[in-house]
Amino acid sequence: MKTLNIFRKILLGVFWLPALLQAENTLPLDAAIQLALEADPLVKSHSEQISAFEDYSLAADSWADPKIKLGLLSLPTDSLELDQEPMTQLVLGYQQSLPRGNTVEHESGHLKAKAFEKRADLDLRQRMVRMSVRKTWLKVYLYEQSEKIIQKNRRLFKQQLNVSQSLYASGRNQQQDVLQAELELSLLDDQLQQMSSKIKEARSLLSQWVGRENSNLPLQVKAQQFNQPLNSNIENLIARLGDYPLMAKYRAKEFASREQLDLAKQKYKPQWGFDISYAKRSGENMDGSDRSDFVSTMINFDLPVFTGQKQDKVVSARQKQLLASKYEKQDAYLQAVSQLEQFYARWQQLRERVGLYDRQVLKQAKQNATAALNGYQSGVVSFITLTRARSAELKAELQRLNLVVEQSIAHADIRYLVGDV
C-alpha cells in the first residue's frame, strides 16, 4: 500500500508540476524537490526492489511442486507384451514433499523483512534527495543574493568614486583617494566574478536533480523558508529518531536475522513426504478373470540425527548474526543521536548569530557607514575611514545572508534525521 501511495504521488506530480513551473516561470523549492524525487533512479530502483521482495515472499509461502510419476514395470523382454506376465504394470504416481517444520512461514517472513529493509532504503533515499535539493537550492539562493548585495554596494562605491574625482578635480582631495576608490571598485568586480562562477557551479549541481532546463529558472523564494523554528527540544527530537529510516532498516535486518535463526532451527525437524501410485495390469488370470490393479501408498521422512557439524553450526552462526545485527542497530542509533545533537547545536548557534545581526550588527554597520560618509563630505573623516565603513557594511550584509542560509541548511540536516519539524 505504501508503495502504491508513492507512485500515486509521483503520478500527481507529473501533471501539476509542469503546469506550475510554466505558469510561474520560476523554481520553488517544493517543486524542485518533487522533480528530483520523480527523476531519481535510485528511488525508482528501491520501489522495484520492494515489489520484487514482496513477490518473493508470496512465492516462498507455498509448498514445493508435486511430482508425477509415469512408468512401466516388469515388461517381458521376449515379447514386450503387456498382458503376458501378471506382474507387468502401467504405473501412475503422485509424490509430494511437505515443508520441514515451519520452514515456509519463516522463509516468507525473512523475505518480508527484506522488503521492509528496501522500503526503509526508499524512505532514506527520499530524505537524502530532499535534503540534497534543499541544500543545493539554498546555495544557489545564497550566491545569487550575494551577487545582488555586491552589485548594490558597487553602485555606492561607483558614486563614491565620482565624488572623489570631483573633489580631486576641485583641489579638495588627494589623488590617493581616487586611486583607493578605483581599487575598491576593482575588488568588488572581482567578487562579482567569483559569485558568478559560484552561481554557475551551484546551478550545475541543481541540474543533476531537476534537469538542465528547470535548473535555469529563477528561484521562487518564500519568507517562511528561512529562520524556520524547531517546536521541539533536543530530547523530543532524539525521541523521534525511532522513525529515522536507517533505524527502521536495522530493525528490519534484525528481524530478518531472527527469521533466519528460526529457519535454521527447522533443520532439526524431519521432512515428511508421501507417494501414491496406481498400477494398471492387463491380461487375465488362469481362471479367466481380469487381473486386479494395484494401489500403493508410502510415507517418507528423513532423520536429522547427526547434527553436530551441520545443524548445530548453522544455528550457532545465525545466533551470532542476530547478535551482530543488534550491535549494528545500536551503533547506528548512537551515531544518529550524535549527529542530531551536532546539527541542533549548530542550528541554535546560527539562530543566535542571526538574531545578533538583526538586532545590532546591521544597524551599527549602516549607522557607521552613514556617519563616515557625512564626515568625509564635511572633511573631518578620511577617505580610508569611509572605505572601511562601506566595506564593513557590505561584509555585515553578506555575513548575515550566509548565516541565514547556513541556519536553513542545519534545519535541513535535522529534518533528514527526524522528518518534518
Instruction: Quick: pLDDT tens for 45-92.
Output: 999 999 999 999 999 988 889 999 999 988 888 888 888 888 889 999
- Top mean pLDDT of 54-68, 291-305, 352-366 is at 352-366
Residue 324 sits at φ, ψ, to 5 deg, of -65, -40
Minimal CA–CA distance to 369: which of 357, 379, 381? 381
Grid cell digits, residue 211: 534537469
What's residue 284's pLDDT?
Answer: 83
What number is the average pLDDT over the span 31-46? Answer: 95
pLDDT digits (tens, 9 = 90+) for 89-112: 999 999 999 999 899 999 999 999
pTM greater than 0.85 (yes/no): no
Given a contact cutoff of 8 angstroms between Cβ atoms, the answer to whether 370 and 397 are in contact is: no
Exposure pattern of 293-308 as b/e (b: 16+ CB <10 Å)? eeeeeeeeeeeeeeee
Domain boundaries, the chain: 2-63+105-268+309-418, 64-97+270-303
Lowest mean pLDDT among 221-225, 338-342, 345-349: 221-225
Lowest mean pLDDT among 170-174, 329-333, 360-364: 170-174
What's residue 25's pLDDT?
Answer: 87
Check pLDDT > 80 for residue 203: yes
* CA–CA distance, 45 with 36 (Å, rounded to integer): 14
What number is the average pLDDT over the span 204-220? Answer: 93
Check pLDDT > 90 for residue 172: no
Mean pLDDT in the chain?
89
What's residue 309's pLDDT?
Answer: 82
- Banded model confidence at residue 348, pLDDT cuts 50, 70, 90: very high
Minimal CA–CA distance to 119: which of 274, 253, 233? 253
What is the CATH code for 2-63+105-268+309-418? Answer: 1.20.1600.10
Query: How far is CA 236 from each of CA 131, 241, 247, 339, 340, rounded to the nearest angstrom?
Result: 21, 9, 17, 15, 11
* CA–CA distance, 263 with 258 (Å, rounded to integer): 8
Lowest mean pLDDT among 13-27, 171-185, 346-360: 13-27
